[in-house]
Amino acid sequence: MKIIKYLGIGLLVFGAIFATLYFIKTNSKPLVEYEVQSPEIQSIEKKTVVTGTVIPEDEVEIKPQISGIIEKLFVEEGDLVTNGDLLAKVKVVPNEQALNTAKGRLSNTLILLKNAEVEFNRNQSLFDKEIISKRDFDNAKLTYDQAKQNVENARTDLQIIKMGSAGGSTTANTNIRATVAGTILEIPIKEGDQVIESNTFNAGTTIATVADLNKMIFEGKVDEAEVAKLTVGMPLKVSLGAIQDKEFDAQLKFIAPKGNEEQGTVQFKIEGDVYLDNSIFIRAGYSANASLVLEKKDSIMGISEALLQFDKITNDPYVEVKNDKEIFERKNIKLGISDGINVEVISGLSIEDKIKVWNKTEPIKIGEEEETENK
């Protein structure tokens, strides 16, 4: 019986020890070993990205010098043209009121010419008989010559109204030609459309828009908070939505002196010359992003922004640095420029400091997983 008794006591003691050890194991938390990083000497660029489009540097609108109807188009959108190429023919449709006025003026000048001719002949006879002076004869001749010129002018005006040109043509056509070399970007009219001449009081109808696609610019807008950091001549990197994995060099050439308010913010227009790759055809109007370096510093001490922590009250930045006792202590720091990944440290750290990587995601340990489930 004593043996059984002692055996039972031993089993109880062993069970108590096992339960105690199991409790300690399951309720103890493993120590977290944090990784550390040291500051590095590096270069940091602060950039901004501007959204815009790539367009031709110059677009020329071809307009007629006389009103009429488009009789024939000789080009299509996308065609290459040179200066002087025939684009279209306009058939002139005379304005009835202007036509009647011109006819009436011609009739009046013919009557005046006839009278001037009679007067000239009479004065010619009198001058030959030495009845009138040479001055009176010269005045009569001048009036006669002016009357003849007025008739010619009236005939020319009538011809222009009827035919579209002083030269005259039974088909009554005027030729519309390209004034610059380039690519036809747009033809907003079609055969049979009526067009209006360009003059001081009317912009006129656009026959075609021509541009040189070998000279392209980036056009975009920047916020007022960044425009003061831009200077003409700054380099740009332009990427196009239609062309993947390709950047084009560019140079800022224009910053608008006046901004426009859009959606509550003031925006300033900018333009930059784009240096094209001849192996790639760029179409006018491609959407584009331009990257501009607002500020750059070389050989500065920087750290990853992921290492930063911020005071809950003052919002001042700080990091935790491992000391000689292998304990992390707080160090307040002063920051400089940032590129969104790395940030300049102006003061508060040395290059040898070991900074706590405090927000790195780690796998959950088994003990922690069980504790989380119990909660």
Q: Catalogue all structural domains in the chain, each as residue range(s) with its CATH number.
A: 36-45+298-374 (2.40.420.20), 48-56+215-294 (2.40.30.170), 61-92+172-211 (2.40.50.100), 96-163 (1.10.287.470)
Residue pair 333/349 in contact by the 8 Å Cβ criterion: yes
Please write the tens of the pLDDT for every residue from 313-342.
999 999 999 998 888 999 999 999 998 899
Rg over alpha carbons for the chain, rounded to the nearest Å, is 45
Q: For 199-223, what is the mean pLDDT? A: 92
CA dist 174 and 331 (Å) reads 82
pLDDT of residue 4: 62
C-alpha closest to that of 54 among 287, 314, 336: 287
| Residue of 58 and 27 predicted with greater confidence | 58
CA dist 66 and 93 (Å) reads 10
CA dist 267 and 258 (Å) reads 9
Residue 127: strand, helix, or coil: helix
CA dist 114 and 138 (Å) reads 18
Residue pair 69/194 in contact by the 8 Å Cβ criterion: yes
Strand 59-62 and strand 265-274: the pairing is unpaired
Please write the tens of the pLDDT for every residue from 127-164.
888 888 888 888 888 998 999 999 999 888 877 766 65
DSSP assignments along 287-323, one per residue? EEEEEEEEEEEEEEEEEEGGG-EE-TTT--EEEEEE-
Report the chain's terminal Cα–Cα distance, integer Å: 47
Looking from the CA of 114 toward its CB, the CA atoms found within 13 Å total 5
pLDDT of residue 157: 80
Q: Is the pLDDT of residue 61 over 90?
A: yes
